[in-house]
Structure 1
Amino acid sequence: MGTIGIPVKLIHEAVGHVITVELKGGASYRGTLYDAEDNFNIAMKDITVTAPDGKQSHLENVYIRGNMLRFIIVPDMLQQAPMFKRIGPNAMKGRGIGSARGRATILRAQARRGRGGSSSSSGAFFTHPNNQAFLTCQQAIE
């Protein structure tokens, strides 16, 4: 089996903290998380349940199956959890523009090296509607 992902690590880190869970049915549960499994089955205590119609009730303990969850809200303090910290010699280095090997990165690198056109070609950046940067090379027509 592979490594466990950050969401699973985060839910385990949230054990002992007050979380809010919304279920697929629309009900929300707010209480203290005291057990979490890798498949997102969770056990909570001292819960305030808000039904989809707004009615509130209190439960002492509840066990929620992972496939019933829509989303989980964890405390902001977990942003400082160790899983979000970079460790090792490259901890302070950013990924920068050229770390990926997508088409746009390759085109940028080729344009910097002067490949892909005559000496009168120019490169221009523009932003795609989904905020991905692309490089276009316009070649002068002779």
Structure 2
Amino acid sequence: MFPLSLLNAATDNQILIELKNGFCYNGLLVNCDKFMNVNLKDVTLTSKNGQEFWKLNSCYIRGATIKYFQVEPELADRVKDDDGFSGGAVSRSAPPLSVRGRAAAAAALRPRSLSARASVERRLQDSAISVHPTSHTAA
């Protein structure tokens, strides 16, 4: 599942978008384009310190400024089914699916067979390189 397919599926649903500058937009997703530019309506804008709120009828957000977006987990389940996702199932009690950035989101959703550390350890063993901690003693 890619962030753009998740955004397209979220059309006419509530969405929370956090921008790189820290401001959060919570509203109904009207549409999005291939650059992740989005139009929202009935928007509540929250300042980065969370102390100030503004109500907007509609707004346009440029995709390059999006840091994070969040949709309901049921929507994420539906997109996974449509995309033929073969990863593990998301429980109904799971928190909303969150995506931070395009590349990170795609990487996070790819199934992993080994953790990064296990992969490095395996490569070290395969190449017969041994790493020993050095001890320093005062002379």
* TM-score range relative to shorter protein: 0.5 to 0.7
Distance in 2 between residues matched to 1:19 and 1:128, nearest whole Å? 31
Deviation at 1:75, TM superposition (A): 1.2
Distance in 1 between residues matched to 2:83 and 2:57, nearest whole Å? 39
- Does structure 1 residue 10 correspond to structure 2 residue 9? no
Instruction: Find the structure with the greater CA-based Rg.
Output: 1
Q: Which has the higher contact order (CA 8 A, sep 6+)?
A: 2
Note closer, same or farther for the CA distance 1:128–1:37 as it changes in structure 2 (3 Å cut): closer
Which 5+ residue runs of structure 1 have no aligned equivalent?
A: 92-126
Q: What residue number does 1:57 align with? A: 54
Query: Which structure has the highest helix share of the two?
Result: 2
- Does structure 1 residue 39 correspond to structure 2 residue 35? yes
- Does structure 1 residue 81 correspond to structure 2 residue 69? no
Deviation at 1:130, TM superposition (A): 2.7
Runs of 4+ displaced beyond 6 Å: none
Q: What residue number does 1:134 align with? A: 122
Size of the aligned set, in residue pairs, is 98
Q: 1:44·1:63 contact (CA, 8 Å) conserved in 2?
A: yes
Which 5+ residue runs of structure 2 have no aligned equivalent?
A: 87-113, 129-139
Q: TM-score, normalised by structure 1?
A: 0.58
Q: What residue number does 1:70 align with? A: 67
Q: TM-score, normalised by structure 2?
A: 0.59
Amino acid at match of 1:69: I
- Does structure 1 residue 19 correspond to structure 2 residue 15? yes
- Deviation string, structure 1 residues 64-113 (Cα, Å, up to 9, x no partner): 011111111111112222444575xxx7xxxxxxxxxxxxxxxxxxxxxx
Secondary structure (helix, strand or coil) at the match of 1:44 reads: strand
Query: Which structure has the highest strand share of the two?
Result: 1
Note closer, same or farther for the CA distance 1:134–1:68 as it changes in structure 2 (3 Å cut): same
Deviation at 1:134, TM superposition (A): 2.6
Deviation at 1:41, TM superposition (A): 0.1
Q: 1:6·1:83 contact (CA, 8 Å) conserved in 2?
A: no
